[in-house]
Structure 1
Amino acid sequence: MGQGLSCGVSHEHGLFSAVQVGDLESVESLLARDPSLLHQTTVYDRHSALHIAAANGQIEILSMILDRSISPDLLNRNKQTPLMLAAMHGKISCVQKLLQAGANVLMFDSMHGRTCLHYAAYYGHSDCLQAILSAAHSNPVADSWGFARFVNIRDGRGATPLHLAARQRRPDCVHILLDNGALVCASTGGYGCPGSTPLHLAARGGSLDCIRELLAWGADRLQRDSSGRIPYVVALKHKHGACAALLNPTSAEPLVWPSPLKFISELNQDAKALLEQALMEANREREKSILKGTSYSLPSPSHSDVAVDDNISEASETELCCICFDQVCTIEVQDCGHQMCAQCTLALCCHNKPNPTTACLTAPVCPFCRSGIARLAVAKIKTNNEADSDVGDVSSSKLRRSRKSRNLSEGSSSFKGLSAVGSFSKMGGRGSGRIAAENEWIDKP
C-alpha cells in the first residue's frame, strides 16, 4: 500500500528518476535551475528526493541534499523517514550519514507504529541495527528516554525489535539486541499470538540459531502465551521437530550466559566473544545428546580452539589451563595476571549464585589468588620463539611448568582438577532489499 518508490508519476521533471539511478550530474543541474525541486514529493507516496536517495543507497546524492540544509527527518505519506527506508533496505552508508546529520531514531511511522530499529531488525540488516544502537548511546534519546527503553521499544502491535528479529529468523540481529539489553522474556501485545515471547516467535519461525541465542541468554522454555502454550507446543504445531526437541521441557537445560559476567566492570570485547563462543559450543554438545538417534541429529560443532592433542607443541602444552588440563588458556584475569580457558571461566562465574535474601550477585574471584575479578581480557600466549628468547632462561619450558604448578597450588580446593564439562553439568538453570507491501507485515497467529 503505497510503499513503492516508483518515480514514473513525476513527469514534470526528471529529478526523482535521476536520484533513483544515481545520476549526480543531472540532479545538480536540475537543482541549479530550480532549487525548490528539493521540497517536492511524488504524487501518491509523497517520497522526497531524500527518501528515494536513502532507499536506493545513493550516498553521494543523499550527502549533497543534506549539505543543502534539508531536514533528515522528512516524512512520506506513511510518516516514514529517510532513515527508516535506509534501514529497511540495508543501506548502511546512508544510515550512517543520516545519523551523523542528526536523524531522529525515535520517530514512529503511521503504518505499524515502528521505528528505524524495528525496520533494521525485521529485515535482518545487522550492520544498520548496530549503527542505530551505537548512535542512540550518544543521542539525546539515551538521556531523555533511556537507552534500555529504546532497545525494548514497542510498535503499534506490542512487538519489540527482538520479537521481530526472532520471528523473521534473524539470529545476528537477535544477538545484537540481546547484547544491548533487549528483554529476552518480554511478551507481545497483538503481534503474532498475543502474549508471545521471542522464544515463541522463534519456535514458530523454526530458527534453531535464534532459539540457541535466546536460550543462551536465559529465555524461559516454560513461559506461556495468552493461549497457554509454551514454545515447545508452538514448534510442534508448525512441524519444526529439531526446534521442538530443544524446547522440550524434559530435555536437558541449556547453559545460560553467567549473570556475574554482566557485572564485571570491563569485559574486553574479544574476551567476551571467546566466552560466548565457548558457551554456544557447549550448548551444541548438549544438542547432540538431545537430538541423538532422531532424524534431526546435528553434525559436530567446529571448534576454533587449537586441539590440545598429541600433536601440540611443547611450548603450547605448558599453557594448558591449570584447572581442567584440557583447553589452552585463552582468558586472563587483569591485575593478577592468572589465566584460564574460556570454559573454566564460565564455570567459575556460574558457581556464583544470587543471594536468595538480598538477590545480590557476589563478584567472581580468581581461583588461584582469590582476588576479585574486575576485568577480563584475552590471554597473551607466548609462541615458541618468544619463549626461546627469554633472557637468562636456559630451560623456559621447565620454568613455565613450575609456574603452572604454582598456579595450581595457589588455587582453591574447589577448583582443583575441575572439568569444564563437569562444571557445566551443574550450571543448569533455568532484507528483502525493498519496501514491503502492507500485507507482508500482517503476521497472523
Structure 2
Amino acid sequence: MGQGLSCGASHEHGLFSAVQYGDLETVKVLMERDPSLLLQATVYDRHSALHIAAANGQIEILSAVLDRSVSPDVLNRQKQTPLMLAAMHGKISCVIKLLEAGANILMFDSLHGRTCLHYAAYYGHADCLQAILSAAQSSPVAASWGFARFVNIRDSRGATPLHLAARQRRPECVHILLDSGALVCASTGGYGCPGSTPLHLAARGGSMDCIRALLAWGADRLQRDTSGRIPYLVALKHKHGACAALLNPSSAEPLVWPSPLKFISELNQEAKALLEHALMEANKEREKNILKGTAYSLPSPSHSDVGADDSISEASDTELCCICFEQVCTIEVQGCGHQMCAQCTLALCCHNKPNPTTASLTPPVCPFCRSTIARLAVVEIKDQDEVDRDIGDSGSPKLRKARRSRNFSEGSSSFKGLSTVGSFGKMGGRGSGRIAAENEWANKP
C-alpha cells in the first residue's frame, strides 16, 4: 500500500517509467511527439499513464495528462479507475484533482464490485474518504442516487464502506462514515460471516476505537449474524478480551448519540465536536468500570483530576454550569442565549424519550426558559486582553472570583452531569442559566 504501481511495459516506450518516477519533462516530450501514447496501457494489468500517475501521487503529470482531454474514468484490466487507485494509495492531491476533473464516483470494479469510497474506507485514508463524500454532496450523485444511498453503497458481497472500515480497524473512517449517515446496524451479504454488522466486524478485528464509535452511534450488541452469534461471541472467538468485555450484554449500556439532536436544524460543528467528546468521555468512564480488576484495564487518563483546583484560571471568562455546578458553560442555546456545559446538554437530549403513541421524537427545549432549541453553538470566550481589562477595573462588577471545582475541565473524566440530572422541569427555582448578553452571573448559593 502506498508504493504505487510498477510498469511492466516500460521496455516498449519510456512513458510509463517516466510517469512512475515523476519525470515531467520526459512525459511532456513524449506526449508532444506521439499523443496516442496516452491511450496505450501496460500489457498485463492494462494500466494507463493516468492510473500510474494517480497511484504514485504524481500530481503534476496527472494534471498534464488530464489537460490533454484524457478521460478521468479510463479502466484497467480489473475495471479500476485512476480515482480508485489514488484512493487506495492515499494520494489525496490526485483524488481531489480527479474529482475536479469530473471522475465518476459511482463506478464499480470487477474484482469485488467496489467503488472509490470502498477503497478509501478499506485502506484507511480518511482524507480521501472525506473528499469523495464532499464531492458526492455536490455532484449529480446527490440528485440521482441520493447521498445517504451512496454512503451505504454495497460491494458484490454486500459490504458497505462502514463494514470495511470496521473490519480493517480504521476508527477515523468509521467516525466519518457514521457522521455522514452510514447505517450502523446494516448486515452484510457474503462478506465475512453472512449477516455481520459493522460491530461484528469490529469485534473480529479487535479495534476498541471502532467498537467505541459504533456503540456511541447506537450499534446493537444483541444483533446476530446468520450463524446466530452476537458481536460478544465473535470477540471471544478471536481472543479480543477487552473488546468482549465491552460487548458483553451484561455490561452497562453505553451512552448513545441522542436522537433528539437530529431535530436541531443548525448544530454548529464546533458544538457537535464538543458534545461528541463529552459523550466519548462518559463511555470511557463506563469502560474503566467494566474493565476494572481485569487484565484489560485502561491506562490512567492524561487529564488527571489531581491538582485541578490549583490549575483553574481566575481570569477565565466562562462561568460554571447552573445545572450541575461542576463543569464550565461551553454550549450556548442560540436565540435565548442560555448556556450550559456539554455534559448537561447531552443529558437534556438523552432524557428526552420518544412519544410511545406517535413513535416520534420531539425537539429538546431549553431547561431555563422552555423555548425550543433550534441551534446550538460553542460559547464565545473573551481573549486574554479583554479579560485583563475587566479584571484591571477595580470598580467593575465583572471582577472575577476564582472558580474552584474538582471537575472544572470540560475533558474531566467525571460525568455527573449525565448521571445526576433528573427532571429539568424542577430546575427553575435554582438557577436560570447564564445568558451570553449579560455581564452578571447568579452566584451559586
Per the alignment, residue 189 of structure 2 pairs with 189
Partner secondary structure for residue 389 of structure 1: helix
Partner secondary structure for residue 376 of structure 1: strand
Per the alignment, residue 259 of structure 1 pairs with 259
The answer to whether 1:298 aligns with 2:295 is no
Per the alignment, residue 422 of structure 1 pairs with 419
* Distance across 2 between alignment mates of 1:254 and 1:296: 18
How do 1:143-158 and structure 2 match up within 5 A?
143-158=143-158
* Distance across 1 between alignment mates of 2:15 and 2:283: 55
Per the alignment, residue 435 of structure 1 pairs with none
Compare 305-314 and 19-28 and name the one that shifted more.
305-314
Contact kept, 8 Å, 2:316 with 2:387, in 1: the verdict is no
The answer to whether 1:118 aligns with 2:115 is no
Aligned amino acid, residue 63 of structure 1: S
* Distance across 1 between alignment mates of 2:336 and 2:343: 19
Contact kept, 8 Å, 2:185 with 2:197, in 1: the verdict is yes
Aligned amino acid, residue 293 of structure 1: G
Shift of 1:389: 3.4
Contact kept, 8 Å, 1:387 with 1:396, in 2: the verdict is no
Per the alignment, residue 325 of structure 2 pairs with 325
Shift of 1:370: 1.3
Partner secondary structure for residue 316 of structure 1: coil
Partner secondary structure for residue 255 of structure 1: coil
Shift of 1:397: 3.7
How do 1:401-412 and structure 2 match up within 5 A?
none
Shift of 1:360: 1.4
Shift of 1:26: 0.3
Per the alignment, residue 437 of structure 2 pairs with none
How do 1:243-392 and structure 2 match up within 5 A?
243-303=243-303, 309-316=309-316, 319-382=319-382, 385-387=385-387, 389=389
Over residues 99-157 of structure 1, what are the superposed CA-to-partner deviations in whole Å (9 max), with x where a residue is unaligned? 00000000000010000000000000000000000000011011001110000000000
Shift of 1:423: 4.3
Per the alignment, residue 140 of structure 2 pairs with 140
Per the alignment, residue 426 of structure 2 pairs with none
Task: Choose between structure 1 and 2 for higher RCO, CA contacts under 8 A separated by at least 6 residues.
Answer: 1
Q: Mark the CA change 1:424 to 1:180 in structure 2 (over 3 Å): closer, same or farther.
A: farther
Over residues 352-387 of structure 1, what are the superposed CA-to-partner deviations in whole Å (9 max), with x where a residue is unaligned? 111111121111111111111111111013356424
Aligned amino acid, residue 396 of structure 1: P
Per the alignment, residue 232 of structure 2 pairs with 232
Compare 4-13 and 27-36 and name the one that shifted more.
4-13
Partner secondary structure for residue 74 of structure 1: coil
Per the alignment, residue 410 of structure 2 pairs with none
* Distance across 1 between alignment mates of 2:73 and 2:320: 55
Per the alignment, residue 27 of structure 1 pairs with 27
Q: Between the two proteins, what is the percent identity of the paired residues?
A: 83
When normalised by structure 1's length, the TM-score is 0.87
Q: Mark the CA change 1:101 to 1:383 in structure 2 (over 3 Å): closer, same or farther.
A: closer
* Distance across 2 between alignment mates of 1:164 and 1:318: 42
* Distance across 1 between alignment mates of 2:347 and 2:141: 37
User: Unaligned 5+ residue runs, structure 2?
Assistant: 403-414, 424-445
* Distance across 1 between alignment mates of 2:422 and 2:322: 20
* Distance across 1 between alignment mates of 2:252 and 2:55: 46
Contact kept, 8 Å, 1:224 with 1:231, in 2: the verdict is yes
* Distance across 2 between alignment mates of 1:10 and 1:310: 67
Shift of 1:38: 0.3
Shift of 1:326: 0.8
Shift of 1:306: 12
* Distance across 1 between alignment mates of 2:305 and 2:267: 20
Per the alignment, residue 176 of structure 2 pairs with 176
User: Unaligned 5+ residue runs, structure 1?
Assistant: 402-417, 427-445
* Distance across 1 between alignment mates of 2:318 and 2:226: 56
Per the alignment, residue 433 of structure 2 pairs with none
The answer to whether 1:41 aligns with 2:41 is yes
Q: Mark the CA change 1:423 to 1:143 in structure 2 (over 3 Å): closer, same or farther.
A: farther
Contact kept, 8 Å, 1:63 with 1:97, in 2: the verdict is yes
Shift of 1:419: 3.9
Shift of 1:330: 1.0
* Distance across 2 between alignment mates of 1:101 and 1:62: 11
* Distance across 1 between alignment mates of 2:116 and 2:315: 51
Q: Mark the CA change 1:368 to 1:14 in structure 2 (over 3 Å): closer, same or farther.
A: same
Contact kept, 8 Å, 1:347 with 1:423, in 2: the verdict is no
* Distance across 1 between alignment mates of 2:421 and 2:204: 29
Per the alignment, residue 443 of structure 1 pairs with none
Shift of 1:97: 0.2
Over residues 256-303 of structure 1, what are the superposed CA-to-partner deviations in whole Å (9 max), with x where a residue is unaligned? 001111221111111111111111011000000000000000023344
Contact kept, 8 Å, 1:121 with 1:165, in 2: the verdict is yes
Per the alignment, residue 221 of structure 2 pairs with 221
* Distance across 2 between alignment mates of 1:314 and 1:271: 24
Partner secondary structure for residue 319 of structure 2: coil
Partner secondary structure for residue 185 of structure 2: coil
Shift of 1:223: 0.3
Aligned amino acid, residue 397 of structure 2: S
Per the alignment, residue 12 of structure 1 pairs with 12
* Distance across 2 between alignment mates of 1:280 and 1:192: 28
Count of matched residue positions in the alignment of Structure 1 and Structure 2: 408
Partner secondary structure for residue 135 of structure 1: helix
More helix by share: 1
Aligned amino acid, residue 52 of structure 1: I
Contact kept, 8 Å, 1:267 with 1:377, in 2: the verdict is yes
Compare 343-352 and 6-15 and name the one that shifted more.
6-15
Partner secondary structure for residue 174 of structure 2: helix
Partner secondary structure for residue 38 of structure 2: helix
Q: Mark the CA change 1:369 to 1:398 in structure 2 (over 3 Å): closer, same or farther.
A: farther
When normalised by structure 2's length, the TM-score is 0.87
* Distance across 2 between alignment mates of 1:59 and 1:338: 49
* Distance across 2 between alignment mates of 1:205 and 1:321: 40
* Distance across 1 between alignment mates of 2:232 and 2:239: 11
